[in-house]
């Protein structure tokens, strides 16, 4: 099935047929040597019928929550889930152990989860999903959860890297090198989404010190060398704020989704929307694989990098 050992990737547990709850932790190696299928993971489940698969649920929600243990964080998460109905949720900087994670999962109504617990300065990651989402865990670290996702026979399988970019400059080179290795070339459909802790240029920052070209080189170099383009967004322009007032306020767009051309061809209607959540200094972002529901406005936004990428014109033509 998969290798078991001492590591930092944790799967929850499930409810037995008698109705009692069992909390069983499965410790996996921190760097998996073989794929881990979602169907093989144990889980923590609530009573009630399973969530029915819906086209509207074909979306992933990403949020740097800056601490999942606060009651306000769980309340905000419930509200955004009610509004967006995601099939999976990726949370960064959870800053809590698994006991708190179990309680939050019960409150938000998700049955399955994987966590990379906080250790020292590593603040922890959490991925939870509905049972209809099929995927394999190909690799994980404190910054990347690399998945192969299957949305069903009508859709193309693809690679999905859930990202928490290292905030410290000394860790960035290793991070980008690993993400490049995981991308597996331009012919494989792939998307990366999350908090990159990186900018594409000065236009993505308001206030504070000017953006140096060297400080935004990692993201732009990865995108140009691997054939990735920014998926754009609707909603607020920036995804992070230091929450200071007046001239001291700084805002940046460091949360995003990027994808290569094969992924854009496979999912031409995919959209990104920024949802403001009060308890955190980050907005949440939701990636809808099949586009917006009829009741929601459908945005279209090009970044300058997309215009410079020749392959993007073919994607637009096919779309």
Six-digit token pair at 113? 């989860």
- The 10 Å Cβ neighbour count of residue 275 is 18
Six-digit token pair at 228? 């990735």
User: Which residue do the tokens 């054939």 mark?
Assistant: 227
Q: Are strands 59-64 and 88-92 parallel, antiparallel or unpaired?
A: parallel
Give the global pTM: 0.78
Comparing CA positions, the residue from 148, 151, 162 lying closest to residue 57 is 151
In a 13 Å sphere around the CA of 106, the CA atoms on its Cβ side amount to 14
The stretches of the chain forming alpha helices (DSSP H) are: 71-84, 98-108, 172-183, 217-226, 261-266, 304-308, 311-318
Whole-number pLDDT of residue 317 = 54
Q: What is the set of domains in the chain, with CATH numbers?
A: 4-318 (3.60.10.10)
Whole-number pLDDT of residue 34 = 52
Whole-number pLDDT of residue 37 = 55
Whole-number pLDDT of residue 53 = 42
Whole-number pLDDT of residue 24 = 33
Phi, psi of 281 (to 5 degrees): -85, 0
Whole-number pLDDT of residue 212 = 79
Whole-number pLDDT of residue 45 = 39
Give the whole-angstrom CA distance, residue 165 versus residue 167: 6
pLDDT < 70 stretches in the chain: 1-57, 121, 214-216, 292-319
């Amino acid at each position: 099935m998969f290798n078991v050992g001492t590591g930092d990737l944790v799967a929850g547990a499930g409810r037995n047929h008698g109705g009692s709850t069992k909390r069983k932790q499965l410790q996996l190696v921190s760097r998996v040597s073989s794929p881990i299928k979602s169907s093989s993971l144990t889980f923590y489940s609530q009573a009630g019928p399973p969530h029915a698969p819906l086209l509207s649920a074909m979306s992933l929600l990403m949020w740097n929550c800056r601490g999942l243990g606060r009651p306000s964080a769980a309340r905000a998460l419930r509200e955004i889930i009610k509004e967006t109905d995601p099939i999976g949720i990726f949370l960064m900087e959870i800053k809590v152990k698994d006991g708190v994670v179990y309680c939050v999962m019960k409150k938000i109504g998700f049955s399955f989860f994987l966590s990379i617990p906080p250790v020292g300065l590593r603040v922890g990651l959490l991925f939870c999903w509905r049972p209809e989402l099929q995927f394999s865990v190909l690799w994980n670290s404190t910054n990347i959860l690399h998945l192969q996702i299957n949305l069903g026979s009508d859709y193309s399988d693809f690679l999905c890297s859930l990202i928490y970019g290292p905030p410290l400059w000394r860790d960035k080179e290793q991070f980008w090198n690993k993400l490049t290795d995981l991308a597996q070339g331009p012919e494989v459909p792939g998307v990366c989404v999350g908090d990159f802790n990186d900018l594409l240029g000065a236009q993505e920052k308001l206030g504070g010190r000017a953006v140096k070209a060297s400080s935004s080189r990692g993201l732009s170099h990865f995108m140009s060398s691997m054939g990735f383009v920014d998926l754009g967004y609707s909603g607020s322009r920036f995804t992070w704020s230091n929450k200071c007032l007046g001239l001291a306020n700084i805002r940046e767009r460091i949360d995003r989704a990027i994808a290569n051309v094969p992924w854009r061809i496979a999912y031409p209607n995919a959209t990104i929307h920024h949802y403001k959540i009060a308890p955190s200094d980050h907005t949440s972002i939701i990636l809808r694989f099949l586009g917006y529901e009829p009741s929601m406005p459908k945005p279209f936004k090009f970044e300058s990098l997309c215009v410079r990428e020749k392959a993007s014109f073919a994607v637009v033509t096919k779309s």
